[in-house]
Amino acid sequence: MNSSLQTAYGSVGSGALAAQRNRVLRNTYWLLALSMVPTVLGAWIGVSTGLAAAMSPGIGLVVFLVGAFGFMFAIEKTKNSAAGVPVLLGFTFFMGLMLARLIGVVLGLNNGASLIMTAFAGTGAIFLGMASLSTVIKRDLSAMGKWLFIGAIMLLVAGIANVFFQSGPLMITLCVLAIGIFSAFILHDLKRVQDGLETNYISATLGVYLSLYNVFQSLLALLGIFGGNSSD
């Protein structure tokens, strides 16, 4: 009798956990889709006004770092309250503004619009691939998070340095590495949600959004370098 009760309680418990994981994953996907709206709006405003392009690389870097880390701190503080979603959407609008400089440069190419659509499609394909892979892999991927984080920090430091060095080969190398590292981050973050290790959908959305942003930005930069047709 006791074993039957334990089995019944165990089934109910595991069912509740599975439902919670599915809910967090579903909310993450919905919020991720919603976050694309302010990102596109921010990029459009940035390109239209020339706001991002007007800043020097050094000033732009400072604005980006202060704004991005400020928003991420605010998201962490508000992720369990009603303010969490608006703060996250405000962050994605800001990130769209910061993307405007690169988009403006690519749009200056004859095939700029098609390059942007190609980068968007490529990012979507990577996301779908990683999302599908996260449902197939059974092993715990938590350990890879530390190494991915170290890789991301090294990329950030090298990227900041290259703002001043302006090295083309280094930029290409960083873009290729960024696509690899942040694609793996998408897999890692989605797997954490499915394993029940991440239970806050705002935090989960932030992590996946940052990875998608970096993959798209890197793909677009590479396409602009190797596939762009100059207007001259």
Domain for residue 5, yes or no? no
Q: In whole angstroms, what is the distance from residue 131 CA to residue 187 CA?
A: 6
Digit-coded pLDDT (tens) for 158-189:
998 988 888 889 999 999 999 999 999 999 99
Amino acid 7: pLDDT: 56
Domain for residue 40, yes or no? yes
Q: In whole angstroms, what is the distance from residue 159 CA to residue 162 CA?
A: 5
Q: In whole angstroms, what is the distance from residue 113 CA to residue 115 CA?
A: 5
Domain for residue 41, yes or no? yes
Domain for residue 150, yes or no? yes
Domain for residue 6, yes or no? no
Task: Please count the structural domains in the chain.
Answer: 1
Cα angle 27, 87, 146; round to 5:
70
Amino acid 181: pLDDT: 95
Q: Give the pTM.
A: 0.89
**What's the domain range around 152?**
13-227
Let me know how many helices (H) and strands (E) the chain has, helices first. Answer: 8, 0
Domain for residue 7, yes or no? no
Domain for residue 200, yes or no? yes
Domain for residue 1, yes or no? no
